[in-house]
């Protein structure tokens, strides 16, 4: 598995506080089948906004610790950026890190409110050549209440990332139901852990992917945990996949 959403860098947000906690999380991820992961600390007003170069340096430093402790996890860098006007400028100025320096940006919406500028910000990102990867769409109240909004975002060229633990109810019953619905409709492009530690927001990947297997065939599961995540971190063009997912006739079991 390739994990495209992970809070593992120590002391930068609400993930691990120490390097030891980061290493423990890395060991758990490896045991659950993760071989490559993108460290995606929050980029919002709640935590210090650390620039892209610093996130890359911190990821490299943690990689050295992983290697020193013989933990076979390859770590890349990115941000989970909260939607706001001016994200294109933040990327241009090196404030925000895309996923492994690719055209793909992990984008977070407000949980309990729909930003009026949502479609405009996404339009600006797409016009700039950046493809938003929408983090955990199953958790946003606006999308839970109106799933057509997600279809509209897909029409704009957005990709989607489901949090694995939502499938086992760890994000609440509403998120679980929405996750199952999106997955069955073929509206999800990749599944990630969004892990924050071993006690707060643990990976829970093995149990979660067993749930996903009941809704996807083997090829579909491989697509969302390895093939598409690999294409994202390698900066491959996924426009054909985006077009297929956004057409109503293509929704359904993969």
103 neighbors 130 (Cβ within 8 angstroms): yes
Q: Which domains does the chain have, with CATH numbers?
A: 2-250 (3.20.20.140)
174 neighbors 16 (Cβ within 8 angstroms): no
pLDDT tens per residue, range 60-113: 999 999 999 999 999 999 999 999 999 999 999 999 999 999 999 999 999 988
Residues near 97 by Cβ (< 8 Å), separated by ≥ 6? Answer: 52, 55, 56, 77, 78, 79
pLDDT tens per residue, range 212-224: 999 999 999 999 9
Residue 27 to residue 19: CA distance in whole angstroms: 12
- Helices 148-155 and 118-127 cross at an angle (nearest 10°) of 20
Lookup: tokens for 133: 């990867």
List per-residue pLDDT tens for the chain, 254 residues long. 999 999 999 999 999 999 999 999 999 999 999 999 999 999 999 999 999 999 999 999 999 999 999 999 999 999 999 999 999 999 999 999 999 999 999 999 999 889 999 999 999 999 999 999 999 999 999 999 998 999 999 999 999 999 999 999 999 999 999 999 999 999 999 999 999 999 989 999 999 999 999 999 999 999 999 999 999 999 999 987 766 665 543 334 43
Question: CA 76 → CA 66, 143, 175, distances in Å?
Answer: 12, 29, 28
- C-alpha atoms less than 13 angstroms from C-alpha of 43 in its C-beta half-sphere: 29
Residue 226 to residue 254: CA distance in whole angstroms: 15
């Amino acid at each position: 598995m390739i994990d495209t959403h992970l809070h593992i860098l120590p002391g930068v947000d609400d993930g691990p506080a120490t390097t030891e906690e980061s290493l423990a999380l890395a060991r758990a991820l490896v045991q659950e089948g993760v071989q490559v992961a993108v460290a995606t600390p929050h980029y919002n007003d709640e935590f210090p906004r650390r620039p892209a170069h610093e996130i890359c340096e911190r990821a490299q430093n943690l990689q050295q610790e992983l290697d020193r402790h013989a933990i076979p996890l390859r770590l890349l860098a990115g941000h989970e950026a909260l939607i706001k006007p001016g994200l294109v400028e933040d990327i241009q100025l090196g404030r925000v890190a895309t996923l492994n320096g690719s055209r793909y940006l992990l984008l977070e919406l407000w949980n309990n409110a729909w930003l009026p500028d949502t479609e405009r910000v996404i339009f600006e990102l797409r016009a700039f050549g950046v493809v938003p990867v929408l983090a955990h769409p199953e958790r946003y109240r606006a999308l839970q209440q109106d799933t057509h909004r997600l279809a509209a975002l897909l029409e704009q060229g957005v990709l989607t990332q489901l949090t694995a633990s939502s499938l086992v109810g760890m994000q609440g019953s509403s998120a679980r139901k929405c996750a199952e619905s999106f997955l069955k409709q073929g509206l999800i492009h990749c599944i990630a852990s969004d892990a924050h530690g071993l006690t707060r927001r643990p990976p829970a990947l093995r149990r979660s992917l067993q749930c996903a297997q009941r809704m996807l065939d083997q090829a579909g599961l491989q697509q969302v945990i390895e093939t598409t995540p690999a294409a994202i971190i390698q900066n491959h063009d996924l426009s054909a996949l985006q077009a297929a997912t956004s057409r109503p006739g293509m929704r359904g079991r993969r």
